[in-house]
Structure 1
Amino acid sequence: MNFMHAVKRGVFALLIALLPAVAMASGAQLEEKVVVYSTHGESMLELVADEFEAATGVKVEFINLKGELADRVRAEKANPQSDVMYGAPSSVYQELKAEDLFDRFTPAWADNINPLFKDKEGYWYGTIQTPVLMFYNTEMMSKADAPKDWWDLADPRYKGLIVSRNALSSSARATYSALLQQFDKKGDLDDGWKFLKGMDANVKRYYGSGSLQYQAVGRKEAAVSFAVLNSVIDNKIKNKMPLEIIDAKSGSPVITDGIAVIKGAKHPNAARAFVEFTGGAKVQALLANKFNRMPTLPEALAAAPKWMSEISFRVMDVDWGALAAKQSQWMQYWDSEIKDSAKDKK
C-alpha cells in the first residue's frame, strides 16, 4: 500500500469514526436505530448493516421487499415505517419523488457522482450502476445461434428456449419498460406490446427468484435469459456456469440503483447518516469486491474488481425520467395482459 493510499484510508476512517460526534455537534444526535426498506439481497444488507453499526453504533433494521418496495413506501406515506429506501431503479425514485415521498439531503460525496446517477435537486442518489444484459448457456447454444439483439427474443426459433424474471423483479420491471420505450419514442407502442407478446410466447417460464432462474439455465431447461451483469458474472466465476453475455446491437439498459431518505422518517438523523455512509466510496468499493456491484463513484470504481473497468458493452438510450411516469401503468398491463398470455391459449 503506498503512502497516499494509506493517508486516504486513514482520513476516511477518521471521518466515519467522527460521524456520531459531528451529528451531535450540529444538534443532530443520531437515533438508536434506522429502518431500511430495500431490494438488495440479505447477505449484502447484513454486511452494510454491520459496517454501519460498527462505525456509528446505530442498529439497522432492514426489510427486503424486492419489487413491492415502492408500493410499500406509498402505502405508508401518512405514517412512514421506514427511514431509508435503498435499492430499486432510478425510474422508481423519480416516480416516488414526484409523489413527495423523499426528503432532500446532500451527502459529502454528492458532487463526485456523475449527474446521470443522481437527482439534480438532491432527493435521491445512485450508489450502484447496474447493466442488464442478455446471456446464454454455451453448452446449449453457439454464439452464432444466440440472439444478437433484444428483438430476437420474439423470434419463433427461440420458442421454449428462454426463461425470465417476472415484473416483481425491479431489474426485469425496468428492462421491460426500457424495451417498450424504444417503441414508444417512435410512436409505435402497439408494436412494442406485440414484441413483448412474441417474446412471451417463447418464454418457457417466469421466475420470482433469481436463483431459480439460474438453476433453470444451469440445468439446461432453457438456453437464454437476461439479468443484471453482476449476477451473471457471479454465476460464471463463482458457480462455474457456462454463461456468455450478449452485447445487444440496440444496447443494454443500465439501471441506477439508488438510495433516499424517506419523508417523515422517524429516525431522520440516522437516516441521513446511513445515506452518507452507504453511498460513500468505502462501502461502494466493499460491495464491488464482495458482491460485484459496479460503483457510481469514480474513487470506488478505481478500487473495484478489474473487470468492471475492462468490460465493454453498448448502452441503450433510455430516458429514465420519462419512463418514471409510465412504468407502473405499463407493468400492470404487462402483468395482466402479456405475461403467460400465449400459455393461456393452449
Structure 2
Amino acid sequence: MKKRLLAALLAGMMVFSLAACGSKESTTTEDQKEDSKAEESAELEDSLVVYSTHSEDMLEEICNAFTEKTGVEVEYINLKGELADRVRSEKDNPQADIMFGGDTATYMLLQDEGCYEATKPEWAGDLPDDFKDADGYWYGTYKTPVVMFYNTDLMTAEEAPKDWSDLVKPEYAGKIITRDSLSSSMRSTIAALVSYYTANESEEAAWEYIEGLNANIKNYYNSGSMMFQAIGKGEAAISIAVLDNIIDNRDNNSMPLEIVDATSGAITITDCIAAIKNAPHPNAAAAFVEFVGSKECEEMVANSFNRMPALDAALEGAPEWMKTGYAPMTLDWADISANQSATLERWETDYIDGNKTVQSN
C-alpha cells in the first residue's frame, strides 16, 4: 500500500514537473515572440537629419522617396569635404542621425573613433564583404570610380595621358585643372595616389609625384560645376572627376569629353553610409540606412544620377555601362585610412598653391 502510494506521488510529481517545463517553454516562446514583435514595430521618429557630400538634387530625390515610404521628414545638409570633421566634432552631442557619402578610409577612421551605431539592414548579407564593415557600422552604397578625362576639342587621344603617372610630365604643364580640398573625391584621390606610390616606389617618390602634379595644375576649383564649365570653355584640356559626373556632362550637357582608362586603374572609391552613435532619431536612422542601400533605391539613383550601385542585385535595372565599368587600381584602403589625416594635412599645407584656387561667387 505504501509502495503504491509512493509510486502515485512520484508519478504525480513527474506530471507536474513536465507540465511546469512545458509551461516554461511556452512562456519563453511567447516572450521571444513579443520581443520580436516589439523590435519589428519600433516606432520611427517624425524626423531625420542627414549630413552628406552628395548633390542637392540626388539628396532631394532620395529623401523625398524615403519620406513617401515612411512618413519621416528629412533635413539634409551638404557638407562637402567638411563632412567627417563635423561628425567628429559633434561626437559628444550629435546633431545629425546619418553620415552619407565619403570613402571607406574615412569611415574606417571614424569607426575607430566610436562615431557610429551598428545597423542590420535586410540586404547586408547580399553586399560583398569589401563594401561593408563586418560588424555593421558602415555600408557601401555606390562604387565611385575617379578617372582622368580630357576635352577632345583641345587634345587628341594620342596626346592625352594614358596613366596617372603621365600627369607630372612637362608637356601637361598648365593643361590640368582639378577640384580643391573641399571635394571629398579629390581628397580620396590624393590620399590614394600617395598610398599607391609609397607602396610601389617610396614615400619620397609619392610626394615628388604630388609636387609635380601641383606644378602642372593650372587651377583648383572649389565647385564641381565651375570646374566642368572651365573644361567646356577650353581653359584647360585635362581634369579628374568621378565617372558619373563626366558621363552626365558628356551625355546631358553635350561636352566633348573623353574618359582615360588608366593603365594602373581607376581610383575606385566606395561611397558609404552609417548611422551616427547616440543620434537623436535612431529608429529613423536605421530605416534610412535600410532604404538607401536597398535594390529599389540603388536602381533609382543609378538611373537618375549615374551612380554605380554597390549592391550587385541593383545592377539588373541599372544603365548598361555600369555592368562593365573600369578596372580598379590596386589600393590598400586600411593603409589609406590610417594615414589619411596626415596625408591630407600635408597636401593642403605644403603642396596646394593657394594662388591657383578659384572660388565660387
- TM superposition score normalised by structure 2: 0.87
Give the corresponding residue for 2:301.
Answer: 287
Q: Secondary structure at the match of 2:272?
A: strand
Give the corresponding residue for 1:4.
Answer: none
Tell me, which stretches of 5 or more residues in structure 2 are unaligned? 1-35
Matched, 1:272 2:281: no
Tell me, which stretches of 5 or more residues in structure 1 are unaligned? 1-21
Matched, 1:228 2:237: no
Q: Secondary structure at the match of 1:88?
A: coil
Give the corresponding residue for 2:191.
Answer: 177
AA paired with 2:323?
A: S
Match of 1:244 among 243, 246, 258: 258
Residues 254-282 of structure 1 deviation map (CA, whole Å, 9 limit, x = unaligned)? 10000001001010000000000111010
Residues 61-103 of structure 1 deviation map (CA, whole Å, 9 limit, x = unaligned)? 1100010000000000110000010111111100100100001
Give the corresponding residue for 1:336.
Answer: 349
Alignment of 1:311-322 (within 5 A): 311=325, 313-322=326-335
Q: 8 Å contact 2:144–2:270 — kept in the other structure? A: yes
Q: 8 Å contact 2:81–2:183 — kept in the other structure? A: yes
Note the C-alpha offset of 1:156: 1.2
Give the corresponding residue for 1:44.
Answer: 58
Q: 8 Å contact 2:219–2:356 — kept in the other structure? A: no
Give the corresponding residue for 2:15.
Answer: none
Counterparts of 2:39 and 2:356, CA distance in 1: 62
Q: 8 Å contact 1:200–1:342 — kept in the other structure? A: no
Residues 244 and 76 (structure 1), Cα distance of their counterparts in 2 relative to 1, 3 Å cut: same
Note the C-alpha offset of 1:187: 6.0
Structure of higher CA gyration radius: 2
Counterparts of 1:180 and 1:277, CA distance in 2: 35
Supply the RMSD in Å over aligned alpha carbons: 1.6
Counterparts of 1:157 and 1:205, CA distance in 2: 16
* Runs of 4+ that moved beyond 4 A: 22-25, 341-344
**Residue correspondences, number:** 322
Give the corresponding residue for 1:74.
Answer: 88
Residues 189 and 321 (structure 1), Cα distance of their counterparts in 2 relative to 1, 3 Å cut: same
Note the C-alpha offset of 1:288: 0.3
Note the C-alpha offset of 1:167: 1.8
Match of 2:318 among 283, 288, 304: 304
Matched, 1:263 2:293: no
Note the C-alpha offset of 1:26: 3.3
Counterparts of 2:349 and 2:37, CA distance in 1: 48
Note the C-alpha offset of 1:314: 2.5
Give the corresponding residue for 1:152.
Answer: 166
- TM superposition score normalised by structure 1: 0.90
Give the corresponding residue for 2:132.
Answer: 118
Residues 189-231 of structure 1 deviation map (CA, whole Å, 9 limit, x = unaligned)? 1111111111111101001111011011000000000110000
AA paired with 1:164?
A: T
Same amino acid, percent of matched pairs: 49
Counterparts of 2:189 and 2:177, CA distance in 1: 14
